């Protein structure tokens, strides 16, 4: 039986940041807590996600000043989320289909976790790869 995502992340702390915070503050928070993504929250509402990739491609590469750049300028708005009762395989499918490594987990409207690709056990990633290989073999 596949565990739900809720079971995988039940002891996880979600790290969030206010939209008006600077990218520098976000980078410090990410470094301090050793996470690759932050939830951008307006009160209890998830309005975006700020990732290491956002930092590099939207701040460093265009040479913006991290201390003067608000998180809202560099975040990914309206991120795709996954319900906590879904499976790790469902999460992998979403991550691969959209090309991201972090996925906010919600229970109803409430953000409960930030799932990282590295949170998903290797066996699920391996099974997904084998499944894709098998499907491609049948299609050709």
Correct CATH for 5-137 of 3.40.50.12780, 1.10.1200.10, 3.40.50.10610, 3.10.580.10? 3.10.580.10
| pLDDT (0 to 100) of residue 67 | 97
- The pLDDT tens digits of the residues spanning 18-57 come to 999 999 999 999 999 999 999 999 999 999 999 999 999 9
How far apart CA 90 and CA 82 sit, in angstroms, is: 8
Q: From CA 17, how far away is CA 23, in angstroms rounded?
A: 10
- Report how far residue 105's alpha carbon sits from residue 116's, in angstroms, rounded to the nearest whole number: 10
Mean pLDDT over residues 65-88, rounded? 95
pTM: predicted TM-score of the whole model, two decimal places: 0.83
Strands 37-42 and 45-51: antiparallel
Residue 140 has pLDDT above 90, yes or no: no
- For residue 65, what pLDDT is reported? 97
Q: Is 82 helix (H, G, I), strand (E, B) or coil?
A: strand
- Domain boundaries in the chain? 5-137
The predicted pLDDT at position 36 comes to 94
């Amino acid at each position: 039986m596949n565990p739900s995502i809720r079971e995988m992340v039940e002891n996880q702390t979600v790290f969030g940041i206010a939209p008006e915070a600077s990218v520098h503050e976000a980078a410090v928070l990410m470094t301090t807590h050793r996470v690759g993504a932050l939830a951008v929250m307006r009160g209890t509402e998830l309005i975006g996600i700020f990732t290491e990739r956002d930092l590099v491609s939207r701040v460093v590469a265009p040479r913006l000043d991290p201390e003067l750049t608000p998180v809202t300028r560099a975040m990914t708005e309206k991120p795709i989320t996954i319900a906590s009762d879904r499976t790790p395989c469902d999460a992998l499918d979403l991550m691969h289909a959209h090309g991201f490594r972090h996925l906010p987990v919600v229970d109803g409207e409430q953000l409960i976790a930030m799932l990282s690709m590295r949170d998903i056990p290797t066996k699920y990633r391996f099974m997904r790869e084998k499944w894709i290989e098998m499907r491609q073999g049948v299609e050709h």
